[in-house]
A and B are shown apart, each in its own frame.
Chain A
Amino acid sequence: MTAAVFFGCAFIAFGPAFSLFIFTIAKDPLRVIILIAGAFFWLVSLLLSSLVWFIATKATNAQDLTLQKNLLIFGSIFSVILQEVFRFAYYRLLRKANEGLAAISEEDGPPLSVREMAYVAGLGFGIMSGAFSMINTLSDSLGPGTVGMFGDSQYYFITSALMTLALTMLHTFWGVVFFEGCERKRWWVIAVVLCVHLMVFSLSLLNPFYVGSILPVYAIMLLMAVWAFFSSGGSLHNITLLWTCRKSNTETSS
């Protein structure tokens, strides 16, 4: 669909992730490393779950379409579960690494708090997940044609980009909430994150009924954003502080 759509969808899908990266991650090499390792963990989880799915499809009749669709749904649910398992595994790894980093760092105490690591790890998961969702579609959006010959909606590219954006942010928020829950030994948090992830997956099955899939997913994203904000140390007090700080700044300066 030409360069305009390519750049538009690329900006929609990766704009926030990109801005988060340059403003919060790029300056600190340790954060970059944790980001990339997080992306790698997500990738490994996808690889293992797709292996399971692949074996399942090869072992069954390829012509039976409903069976294959059900296998794909099963495979995806398994993939969701495996992603959360790998998130937990990454949490354990980072905790262990944190002790080692604390020992060799020049400052007192660990160079990164668990909250920062949670955020970076979540963003790593989100970026890799977004890349896998979107790059394939983006490369096809460069050509002159658009989706729709076989009855699909012509808004395919925009909605793909919007879903990718939502999913990237959701992975970030889930990372924050998840690590905080593990830190405080609140195991119900893990279960809730898993359930929300599964809910988002099942909403995506409603595509191409985009009103039914994108709007709820964005609503869930906002709720998760609020939860992540509170669980990473924010509070209403801080927001009002920010507001009055700005007000007093403008008062004193003027």
Chain B
Amino acid sequence: MCSNMVRCLGDGNTSLQKLATSIVFFFCLSDVSCNSVEQKIYVELNNTVPCVRLLNATHQIGCQSSISGDTGVIHVLESEADLEWPLSKGPNPPYMVLLESSLFTRSIMMKMKNESNRVAGVAVVVPNTSPPEFSPHTTCPNENTGVYSDNYGPNLAHCNTTVWNPRGNGLSYEEFDFPVFSLKEDNETEFIKQCYLDHNRAVNGSAPQYPLCAMQLFSHMHAVTNTPTCMRRNDINFSINPEMVCDPLGDYNVWGSIRPYNDTVFGHKENESVVIAAARLDSRAFFWEVSTGAEGSVSGFVTLLAAAQALREVTHEAPPTRNILFAFFQGETFDYIGSSRMVYDMENGKFVIDLDNIHSVLEIGQVKNLVNNLQSSTAGLSFLLVEPNVSQPLPPSSLQRFLRAQPIPGIVLADHESAFNNRYYESFYDNAANLNLTYPSDLSPEEQLEFVTDTAKSLTDVATVVARALYKQAGGNESLVNNIKADPKIVTQMLYGFLVSSNNSWFQAVMAPELKNILKPSPPEYYVGVAMSSTPTRLVQYLLANLTGAATNLTQSQCQKPDELPNESRQMYSYLWVQGIVPPNSTERDSFCVRASVRLTKAVSPAFELGEYASKDYSTWTESRWKFIKARIFLVASRDLEMLTLGVGVAVLFTSLLVTYFISTKADVLFSSTREPASAAY
């Protein structure tokens, strides 16, 4: 309010502006920025997402700006041929190139990378509808940390047989030394384009006139070169507050089991045989944090959660011979951080079981389109499982890390026979629309939560098959297999919560009270990050606990200290206090204590535990730190006007110095009427 008005009125330079200035100075100190002149100049862009710098053992990838931001004259690119203007023809370099998403291609970005002294930065406008296909990831994901290498299956390594992600253009793994930001298609972007049309268009082939519309992007990254360099710089102990420059990527893996394990007894367990069911939790995109990974990861772990829930009853009635361990790995996108850490822990006796305890592994990969084949199988389900040719390598999957350590029988369930079907692998377009998650338009959010979509039905079928397969694999009673059915309601609620809006009533009911702030009206971000507190990990932990555990009668204080009770033990189970639902006629939640054998284990790459920052065996990915990231637009004046101002200023200063000196030395001559007439005229 105050700032708006002052802007309208603070134009003159006398008492008006002085008055206004004094007001804003004295009384607006606690308000938002009330600096009226600043508001005449700069427009801050609030809905931008930067691309940040990531480093590994040998390279740095991502984008960097200079420490005081990069300023460039805005140019809206119309086609690839129009690149001539910013790269060679334009008279006012450097340029800030604004791209529509259809022009965000490898060839255009590479051309700008090569002429980067004329390109100050790039802004990409991300539309609401997805292009036909786009994947900024590499064609061969995680090619150096899987099980195939030059020593083992060299004809299968490095995608020599099957190129998994043929649509990948590898942009996420390129290094740019200018900032790249993404803008949404909203009013701010319209304003930017209007500013460009008003000021920056060349009229009839002549150069555009000053003042020109310009954009400034700040995304200065502190880390350089590679991980060993930045970790070494983290350790410099000169000052009391050491400046960290990068952090290793990582979070927590979530695991749960049918029969609980004592959390303090590690290493090999005699006569213990475990079937592991695995899925991955994370994904990434070109820009920082805006990853949705619907087909890439959400389809997989939602199916696994539904299978875990389907197995709950039958494993209580007739427990199978072998234990089943559900594992959700974080950080798999970045060279298998989570699974390599679990395998490392198993090899070194830091996990509750050992690699020798593993009977087999079943991993759920990308399962969106498993329902294509409508031939019904024996169980009355609508798809057919096909085993590919024996010379087909395994797709990028956590199973590869287990196989690297020890030969273990395993299956990866996926909807693609060779190359991925996913057209938006590891991109910001892999969202609910990619999974064909559509709701009728007249439903309220609560009704959408309950509505069973077709996607949910197909994933339920997959979950049923997985649950039955796991039960049989674990040596359960064959006659009970057909009773195992996954619940489509739970699947559709999970899909809604993970892909549309995480702040819904069901997620609120299963979460702890102190964690309810991580629920937002938008879907969660699946980037693994460095803060060790990513939302998907927490959600999956609490969901797995609610779906496989048991509700108890413990009070809140008992839930925090269950060891005082005779039958409860914190070593065997974890006790989580959850909010519960709101009963119809009251406002208080029915909170209760869930007892489940669900644990979190650290998912940070073993390279950082061992200090081998240049490791070739483990993931060495780190994310750079930065001070602030922002973007703004403004007009820039011509150099001539600036120099004119400076010239006039210097002239005024010198003239006033001369005139004042002259007058002050002759003052007694000039102002002498109060004295007696001068005795002599000099």
Contact = CB atoms under 8 A, between A and B. Distances in A.
B669 A241 contact: yes
Contact of B41 (A24, A147, A205): A147
B21 A144 contact: no
Interface residues of B, number: 68
B5 A62 contact: yes
Interface in A215-253: 229, 232-235, 238-239, 241-242, 244-245, 248-249
A80 B16 CA distance: 10
A16 interface: yes
Contacts of B21: 132-133, 136
B641 interface: yes
Given A75-B19, A165-B652, A23 B660 contact: yes
Chain A contact patch, size range: 35 or more
Interface in B1-24: 1, 5, 8-9, 11-23
B642 A49 contact: no
B656 A62 contact: no
A16 B21 CA distance: 23
A5 B17 contact: no
A230 B214 CA distance: 52
Interface string B661-679: 1001010011111100010
Interface stretch (A33-41, A64-72, A94-102): A64-72
Contacts of A248: 681-682
B211 A146 contact: yes
A19 B636 contact: no
Interface stretch (A85-93, A151-159, A188-196): A151-159
A24 B667 CA distance: 10
A22 to B, nearest CB: 8
A146 B634 CA distance: 7
Interface stretch (B341-349, B428-436, B643-651): B643-651
Most chain A C-beta atoms within 10 Å of own C-beta, residue among B14, B635, B670: B14
A10 interface: yes
B211 A4 contact: no
B214 A145 contact: yes
A229 B477 CA distance: 113
Most chain A C-beta atoms within 10 Å of own C-beta, residue among B644, B645, B648, B661: B645
Interface stretch (B32-40, B489-497, B593-601): B32-40
A115 B14 CA distance: 26
Contacts of A19: 653, 656-657, 659-661
A15 B652 contact: yes
A187 interface: no
Contacts of A24: 660, 664
Interface string A156-180: 1111110111010000000000000
Contacts of A50: 19, 22-23, 26
B71 interface: yes
B27 interface: yes
A143 B670 CA distance: 44
B8 A53 contact: no
A79 B16 CA distance: 9
A249 B665 CA distance: 15
A8 B647 contact: yes
B41 A158 contact: no
B650 A154 contact: no
Contacts of A49: 19
24 contacts: A1-B637, A1-B642, A4-B645, A4-B646, A8-B647, A11-B649, A11-B650, A19-B661, A47-B22, A65-B5, A69-B9, A76-B14, A79-B15, A140-B41, A145-B636, A147-B41, A160-B13, A161-B649, A163-B12, A165-B652, A201-B15, A204-B15, A229-B670, A245-B682
Given A15-B657, A132-B18, 17 more contacts: A8-B648, A16-B656, A19-B661, A20-B656, A23-B661, A54-B27, A72-B19, A72-B20, A76-B16, A146-B41, A152-B40, A204-B13, A207-B11, A213-B12, A238-B672, A244-B681, A245-B681
